[in-house]
Amino acid sequence: MPIVTPLTRMLGIRVPIVQGGMQWVGVPRLAAAVSEAGGLGILTALTQPSPEALRVAIRETRKSTSKPFGVNITLLPTINPPDYEGYARAAFEEGVRIFETAGNNPGPLIKYFKANGCIVIHKCTTIRHAKSAEKMGVDVLSIDGFECAGHPGEDDIGGLVLLARAAKELKVPYIASGGIADARGFAAALALGAAGVNMGTRFMCTVESPIHQNVKDKIVASTERDTVHIFRTLHNTARVFKNKVSMEVVAIEKRGNAKFEDVRDLVSGARGRQVYETGDVDYGIWSAGITLGLIDDIPTCKELIQRFESGVEDTVGALSQIVQKENATVCPV
């Protein structure tokens, strides 16, 4: 049975599953595989060294899929501030019309995309930020619970409560992000009023994901207890894999009065990238969500998305049986 939601209708996709924009992971091969499988693949703009390189990545993605895909632009503190506007313009000029924005002060970017007729999915971790993005005219909110990989914000609210709040407060469609890696979570998100889901860590651990096999194997072997928060004291909290480097960062922060410069060499994205390239999972910082505890294989994107589709049907079927049984108790025939 097709799963039809405002998201599938708006984006022209078959299954309401969005691949999160992950630094060093959201590259043409993965984005195209997700889109070909019926979801929405996302290229991560800042993974490309320049707006020109993003143009090349967009053209490469198009060679592998004629289906819709999007571009993520995340605005967070960075060691070398990127040319956000340049990336946005390059993607728009290359014909991209779906954007995922995230991070601080997204207003100018959202304004640019909306003035040019694009669809904007804005990711945020609080209802107040969601409402302010709604006022700016975003089309979809990606509601990111504390379970998520990367930056969960500073309020520490889990997805269950955030999504129930979203159902009460938001007028535009929203999707659930953080904590979803299986069909039960997908069905639960739909039950909470979400028009779909966004998944990052789960897509990292697929055949088409560009990261080293050792990292994929490590994800499979890990549990929900294998992540840690860094940058708590710098108000730029990030959930990352618990390894030698992230524990060293936490220890430095615990000593008190840590400045970014004290951890800069340990946490740099350039170093984290080496993890994905060499497979040394202890070499640098890499983002991972607590869905680590739910991931126990490395499927293709097609297998994964098909599993979600059939799994949702099974879960909804099981739920409807529970409802029938309760009716039978109340009104026995």
Question: What does the DSSP 8-state code read for residue 271?
Answer: H
**Closest-CA residue to 278 (of 212, 225, 324, 216):** 212
Closer residue to ligand NAD (CB): 193 or 269 = 269
Which one of residues 8, 19, 35, 44 is an interface residue with ligand NAD (CB under 6 A)?
44
What distance in Å separates the CA atoms of residue 102 and residue 118, rounded to the nearest whole number? 16
Residue window 306-325: x/- pattern of binding to ligand NAD, with contact defined by CB under 6 A: --------------------
Q: How far is the CB of 78 from ligand NAD (least distance, A)?
A: 4
Q: Please report, for residues 88, 154, 196, the alpha-carbon distance to residue 15 in angstroms, rounded to integers and kept in the order given.
A: 26, 31, 8
For tokens 């897509």, the residue is: 203
For tokens 């560009």, the residue is: 210
What distance in Å separates the CA atoms of residue 126 and residue 157, rounded to the nearest whole number? 8
Contacts of 85 (CB under 8 A, 6+ apart): 108, 109, 112
Closer residue to ligand NAD (CB): 165 or 271 = 271
78 binds ligand NAD (CB under 6 A): yes
22 binds ligand NAD (CB under 6 A): yes
Query: How many residues belong to the site for ligand NAD (CB under 6 A)?
Result: 22
Q: Which residue type sits at 303?
A: E
Interaction with ligand NAD in 93-132: which residues (CB under 6 A)? none
Q: How far is the CB of 199 from ligand NAD (least distance, A)?
A: 12
What distance in Å separates the CA atoms of residue 264 and residue 70, rounded to the nearest whole number? 30
72 binds ligand NAD (CB under 6 A): yes
* Cβ atoms within 10 Å, residue 256: 7
Closer residue to ligand NAD (CB): 47 or 315 = 47
Which one of residues 268, 280, 302, 307 is an interface residue with ligand NAD (CB under 6 A)?
268
Q: How far is the CB of 315 from ligand NAD (least distance, A)?
A: 28
CA dihedral 184, 199, 144, 242 (to 10 degrees): 100
260 binds ligand NAD (CB under 6 A): yes
Residue window 140-179: x/- pattern of binding to ligand NAD, with contact defined by CB under 6 A: ----------x-----------------------------
What distance in Å separates the CA atoms of residue 254 and residue 232, rounded to the nearest whole number? 10
What distance in Å separates the CA atoms of residue 136 and residue 116, rounded to the nearest whole number? 14
274 binds ligand NAD (CB under 6 A): no
23 binds ligand NAD (CB under 6 A): yes
Residue 25 half-sphere exposure toward CB, CA atoms < 13 A:
30
Closer residue to ligand NAD (CB): 270 or 328 = 270
Residue nearest to ligand NAD (CB): 269
The residues that touch ligand NAD, with contacts defined as CB under 6 A, are 21-23, 44, 46, 72, 74, 76-79, 150, 231, 234, 236, 238, 260, 267-269, 272, 287
